[in-house]
């Protein structure tokens, strides 16, 4: 029962906080790359801002994709879903 509620809370948090985090990281990177702030240290900070965006984007897309799945059939569980799940699983740092 605790595992179920953990997944529910994670799903809701990922649905709402994930896109906000992606937007905030992209805006931070854009701010750090302005002409006035561009120096080697800020470029490194920009790369650190953009580092979690791709895995987070994959996680959020997986949560939204799972929301639409109401059944387990041949039409809903496809090769692309399995490939997306594998990429999402192996892109997140442990």
Domain containing 75 equals 2-91
Instruction: Give yes or no for residue 86 having a pLDDT over 70.
Output: yes
The CA distance from 2 to 88, in Å, is 24
Report pLDDT digits (tens) over 58-76.
Answer: 888 887 777 766 666 666 6
Q: Token digits for 8?
A: 């529910």
CA distance linking residue 82 with residue 73, whole number of Å: 13
Structure-token pair, residue 52: 């979690």
Q: Answer yes or no: pTM beyond 0.85.
A: no
21-67 pLDDT, tens digit per residue, is 999 999 999 999 999 999 999 999 999 999 888 888 888 888 777 77
Instruction: Let me know: does 22 contact 57? Beta carbons within 8 Å.
Output: yes
Counting the structural domains of the chain, the total is: 1
Residue corresponding to tokens 């948090």: 13
pLDDT at 74: 65
Within 8 A by CB and 6+ apart from 47, the residues are none
Cα 43 to Cα 24, 30, 35: the distances in Å are 16, 10, 11
């Amino acid at each position: 029962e605790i595992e179920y509620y953990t997944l529910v809370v994670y799903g809701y948090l990922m649905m709402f906080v994930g896109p906000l985090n992606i937007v905030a990281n992209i805006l931070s990177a854009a701010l750090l790359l302005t002409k006035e702030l561009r120096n080697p240290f800020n470029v490194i900070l920009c790369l650190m801002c953009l580092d979690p965006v791709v895995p987070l984007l994959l996680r959020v897309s997986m949560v939204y994709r799972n929301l639409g799945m109401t059944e387990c059939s041949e039409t809903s569980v496809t090769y692309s879903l399995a490939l997306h799940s594998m990429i999402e699983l192996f892109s997140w740092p442990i």
